Amino acid sequence: MSTSADPAAPPANPLDERRARLEQEFQRREAAAKRMGGPEKLARRAAANMRNARERLDLLLDAGTFIESGLFSTSANPADRDKSPCDGKVAGFGRIAGREVAVVSNDFTVFGASSGATNGRKIAHMKRVATQRGLPIVFLGESSGARMPDHMGSRGMGTLLGNDGAQYQRTRETPWVSATLGASYGSASWYSVLSDFCVMRKGAVLAVSSALLASLAIKEEVDPEELGGWRLHAEVTGFADLVVDTDEEALAAIQRFLDYLPGHHNEAPPVRPVPAGSGAQMPNILDLLPLSRTQVYDVRKVVRTVVDADSFFELKARFGKVAVTGLARLDGRTVGIVANNPLYKGGALDAEACEKITSFIVLCDSFNIPLVMFVDTPGFVIGTEAERRRAPGKIMNHMNALALTTVPKLSVILRKSYGQAYLNMGGGRNSDEVAAWPTAEVSFMDATFAVKIVHGLDPGDPGFDEALERMKRDSEAWDFASIYAAQSVIRPEETRDYLIRMLDVHRLRLTNGVGQRLMRAWPTSY
């Protein structure tokens, strides 16, 4: 006859039983919180070659460094509590190349990663910690916008707007970085355009609201790509700093961008080893400049020859193409590159180029990155269309930003520097050092146009050649240097060494590499 208890078994330990129950409950809730939108939704994303919110974090962050904040958060609406793991946004802290960052990864499989009261608090916490502790913050954007019907009515709107009074405030204490990786409406688009760097995946959409809502509003069919696709934001609005094909490329771009920047505004950018072969092509750099002063060329070849090997990271390459902006390194130190590109419009600056340069200057000055300018411009694009694009305002924004900059500014005149654009590209003491190649020419305008305006003569007219020679007089680099308007005339092959030396001379020693950041509250788009 058996008994219900084994007399040989030790009595149960109540503490062990409690520990087991707690562990079982923890594991159950943890699994529920990490299930996201469930196996079917996750499988559909995988089939579409789109990573889910947690996979993106695994790719972005150093292995084993992610510590989640708000794992057990859910919708504030009781009816949705059991079907809203993490309230549609995965947030926390991790490391990229050993450096701590804050991160928010939108989970589109949970209510379309729509904005709710709970996940609004999570974002506010991430931003607050990042700002107070000096951490870059990364937003992986994909969202259907504000959650309906949670935010309908006055109580709903009060909940939506009542979480964080500084939710759209940027004063650039730390770098903000975003990736637009799918349909991004409402707050997902806000954080993209508020960021210092926005990478956009092809196929993603960035807009105020969805194509469906836009169609209802204007009573005609709206195509999502036309509404907010990558071509629009890379080529027309300039919101996309970089366009990529996959999530993996987008996350790698974020890692690379952050590697050029400091973790916060009170430190200098990191210094990296100088790659082998840097500067090896400098002896032949003059060959990149055409023999004819009117022939076009791609200034990016000059830039890549001068900077450390493979270090040039171009931003907004498809927008404002007459200007080139990007991050690079010289002797291992981060620099910001601004260059005129004669390949487009002969290098004449248009409104989009001025906007692009202004935005880049603000980024560099906010995060203590010295500026290096390569100058070859016949001036500004003029005419009716330029005025309609608000060219005077864009030109003065550019000029004001340059004047307010407190990081070192070096300018190298390669060929032409005419008119007001001479000032916008660092001339007239708008940079700390101006150097000129012997090929440089500086004047108010092209001598041919000046002859037409002053004398009414066209090429071939009697007296034109004589008037042209008079107009060309005193416009060479030597004339420019003779009145100390250029501090140096340098051999083209010495450009890299000259810039490295001058960056060392102008290092911000008294403030440990930190500028005054006078443009820290300048808008990221305008």
Residue range 352-376: average pLDDT?
97
Is 439 in contact with 414 (CB distance < 8 Å)? yes
Question: Residue 381 — very low, low, confident or very high, per pLDDT cuts 50/70/90?
Answer: confident
Average pLDDT across the chain, whole number: 90
Q: How far apart (Å, rounded) are the C-alpha atoms in residues 230 and 210?
A: 15
What CATH superfamily is the domain 28-260? 2-enoyl-CoA Hydratase; Chain A, domain 1 (3.90.226.10)
369 vs 81, which has greater pLDDT? 369
**What would the two tokens of residue 368 be?**
């203590």
Question: Residue 116 — very low, low, confident or very high, per pLDDT cuts 50/70/90?
Answer: confident
How many C-beta atoms surround the C-beta of residue 479 within 10 A?
15
Query: Does the pLDDT at position 167 exceed 80?
Result: no
Residue range 45-61: average pLDDT?
94
Question: Residue 452 — very low, low, confident or very high, per pLDDT cuts 50/70/90?
Answer: low
413 Rama sector, left if φ>0, alpha if ψ -120 to 50, beta otherwise: beta
DSSP at 79:
G
Question: Residue 413 — very low, low, confident or very high, per pLDDT cuts 50/70/90?
Answer: very high
| Candidate from 62-76, 163-177, 303-317, 340-354 with smallest mean pLDDT | 163-177
Query: Does the pLDDT at position 445 exceed 50?
Result: yes
pLDDT at residue 450 in the model: 65
pLDDT at residue 135 in the model: 97
Phi/psi at 23 (nearest 5 deg)? -65, -40
Q: How far apart (Å, rounded) are the C-alpha atoms in residues 292 and 262?
A: 42
Which is it for strands 197-201 and 242-244: parallel, antiparallel or unpaired?
Answer: parallel
Domain boundaries, the chain: 28-260, 282-440+476-511
Q: Find all residues with CB under 8 Å of 473, minimum gap 6, and list them.
A: none
Query: Does the pLDDT at position 49 exceed 60?
Result: yes
pLDDT at residue 151 in the model: 63
CATH for 282-440+476-511? 3.90.226.10
| Candidate from 21-30, 207-216, 262-271, 405-414 with smallest mean pLDDT | 207-216
| Candidate from 72-86, 208-222, 224-238, 372-386 with smallest mean pLDDT | 208-222
Residue range 14-30: average pLDDT?
92
Q: How far apart (Å, rounded) are the C-alpha atoms in residues 272 and 253?
A: 17
pLDDT at residue 1 in the model: 46
164 vs 126, which has greater pLDDT? 126
Q: Cα torsion at 284, 341, 343, 198 (round to 10°)?
A: 120
pLDDT at residue 6 in the model: 65
pLDDT at residue 156 in the model: 67
DSSP at 49:
T
Query: Does the pLDDT at position 378 exceed 50?
Result: yes
Of the ranges 223-227, 262-266, 381-385, which is most confident? 262-266
Query: Does the pLDDT at position 343 exceed 80?
Result: yes
Task: Extract the runs of DSSP E, i.e. beta strands, from 386-462.
Answer: 409-418, 433-436, 441-443
Of the ranges 11-15, 458-462, 489-493, which is most confident? 489-493
Q: How far apart (Å, rounded) are the C-alpha atoms in residues 427 and 409?
A: 11
3-class state of residue 470 by DSSP: helix
pLDDT at residue 33 in the model: 92
pLDDT at residue 460 in the model: 80
Q: How far apart (Å, rounded) are the C-alpha atoms in residues 440 and 212?
A: 54
One fold for 28-260 and 282-440+476-511 = yes
Question: Residue 250 — very low, low, confident or very high, per pLDDT cuts 50/70/90?
Answer: very high
pLDDT tens-digit map of 174-193: 999 999 999 998 888 889 99
Query: Does the pLDDT at position 441 exceed 80?
Result: yes
**What would the two tokens of residue 340 be?**
């005129």
Cα-atom radius of gyration of the chain, to the nearest Å? 28
